[in-house]
Structure 1
């Protein structure tokens, strides 16, 4: 496996950063992070898949991590613009076929891409879709909780204090080692002009929820998906409700027999994709999609 590479490119007029794992020319996977996170959340997943012969691209979304912040937040912090960025990234890398793994917001971006509704060329590119605790309809109270902490990121005098905050707000991720918590902190920290530290994203990205109130209500896109879908639902998730999962089973890829659902115990929103019980079902699903079949139904242990 090649050493992971940090890369940048101007896409849709904005500089976007991503980390790339594995060998160029290997089957490609795009692993897209959640709302207030960065592509480094996908390190364990990317390493696992790259060691098994896949090429994994982990972008920082516009306004997150090392990607540029948008000068037009109301227009560009949207699923439609993120889908355009995904299409431009595939163009830049020459990717005709990709498997998509998306946590939370990353899953919503994958859904609108796989439908072709917001980025028509992506429909033919996406070979399979993993939704990590994401659905075409999200619970309103959980969205309010996320907006409350994401829209007003705290600042601390020390990185150690910021790590305590991350360990608290992201406790639903499930088990992380001390080293993983430290990496999560260090890879998503920026220093303010006054010397304090804060999460590494543009607070204006939360305006997606006010300027585009129903941006995450995407049943029409889910219904248009024609590729295999794997839903990993945190068993304690307050964002993806069981009744919504049941509707997913009877619509779109669910109605066509292309939806698999795995409840991940010990997690809420969203499983960290950092332990074998998370990683192995994802790998098996991708292998089955590449072979043209469906992976066997399973439950994460």
Structure 2
């Protein structure tokens, strides 16, 4: 079975920071290797996870894509194997987007990128939207195809409130199995999974602690800026995200759990009618967000990225 390599990229702190210790950090990423076909070696697919998740969420999808592209799955700052930020205020989309620019520059220096695709679940989709919606960013190639997994410019307040109830809450687990059971209580929107599938998704969510047992893999402080968002800030952020969406030139595939509480039917419809006019695919029996483990979900993404003209098609 194909396994990825864990690598790191140095990332700068906020542009306003002057001291090296005030924000510089390392971001971890999982590299699934180059494409089997030499002609596709410059095709990179970046897969970015949701708010409290990590890069191993994409193992199933990455294995399906890795033979035809270089698949990269970052652990966003504060999650997984990445550094925790000294200032929790940095746990926001602008810093994450800057980290991805640094990642792409390192990848391009290693092996030139001629085709760049993006798969983003929830927060990862918003990061992709920021990159794809700004033509002046120093990307090695423009984002060609963008998969937004159950996310759009408008986020439903009740879903954000639900997420805020468990985000950053400290917990200790005696075993991965106990942790998986606990995590399922907050994750039933992901839709049906076999016990084996759910345990595989849950194991990378944990890190062992010296006193024994496990805690969640992320810095609890990622909840600080999340909980500081006021209705006014949310409204301003939504307006900016719609502006960015309207500027996207990539082809867009919008995935939605039919029972999603984060991406409303109204927002999904608007995304089909404006800007890049996303193609919508909905999955029944799933809320927020599809995990891209089910073969039917994987096939939809695989066809969009690889099966409609291949990596050479603009």
- TM-score, normalisation: structure 2: 0.84
* 1:8 CA drift (Å): 1.6
1:147 maps onto 2:164 in alignment? yes
* 1:71 CA drift (Å): 0.5
Q: State the match for 1:281 in structure 2.
A: 300
1:106-165, Cα deviation, whole Å (9 max, x unpaired) = 000000110117x72249531110001011111000001111111324333333221101
CA contact 1:115–1:123 (8 Å) conserved in 2: no
1:107 maps onto 2:125 in alignment? yes
For 2:46, what is the secondary structure of its paired residue? strand
Structure 2 CA distance for aligned equivalents of residues 248 and 140 of structure 1 = 18
How many aligned residue pairs are there? 286
Within a 5 Å distance, the mapping from 1:261-300 to structure 2 comes to 261-287=280-306, 288=308, 290-292=311-313
* 1:26 CA drift (Å): 4.5
1:47 maps onto 2:66 in alignment? no
Structure 2 CA distance for aligned equivalents of residues 142 and 2 of structure 1 = 35
Within a 5 Å distance, the mapping from 1:197-208 to structure 2 comes to 197-208=214-225
Quick one: structure 1 residues 168 and 2, their matched pair in 2 at CA, closer, same or farther if it must change by over 3 Å? closer
Name the Cα RMSD after superposition: 2.2
Quick one: structure 1 residues 60 and 158, their matched pair in 2 at CA, closer, same or farther if it must change by over 3 Å? same
Unaligned 5+ segments in structure 2 are 13-23, 36-40
| Matching residue within 69, 73, 98 for 1:58 | 73
CA contact 2:34–2:70 (8 Å) conserved in 1: yes
CA contact 2:105–2:140 (8 Å) conserved in 1: no
- TM-score, normalisation: structure 1: 0.88
Q: Which moved more, 1:185-194 or 1:223-232?
A: 185-194
| Matching residue within 252, 261, 264 for 1:241 | 264
Unaligned 5+ segments in structure 1 are 294-301
1:210-261, Cα deviation, whole Å (9 max, x unpaired) = 445438521111111111000000011000000111221222112xxxx100
Structure 2 CA distance for aligned equivalents of residues 194 and 15 of structure 1 = 26
Structure 1 CA distance for aligned equivalents of residues 186 and 28 of structure 2 = 25
Structure 2 CA distance for aligned equivalents of residues 291 and 91 of structure 1 = 21
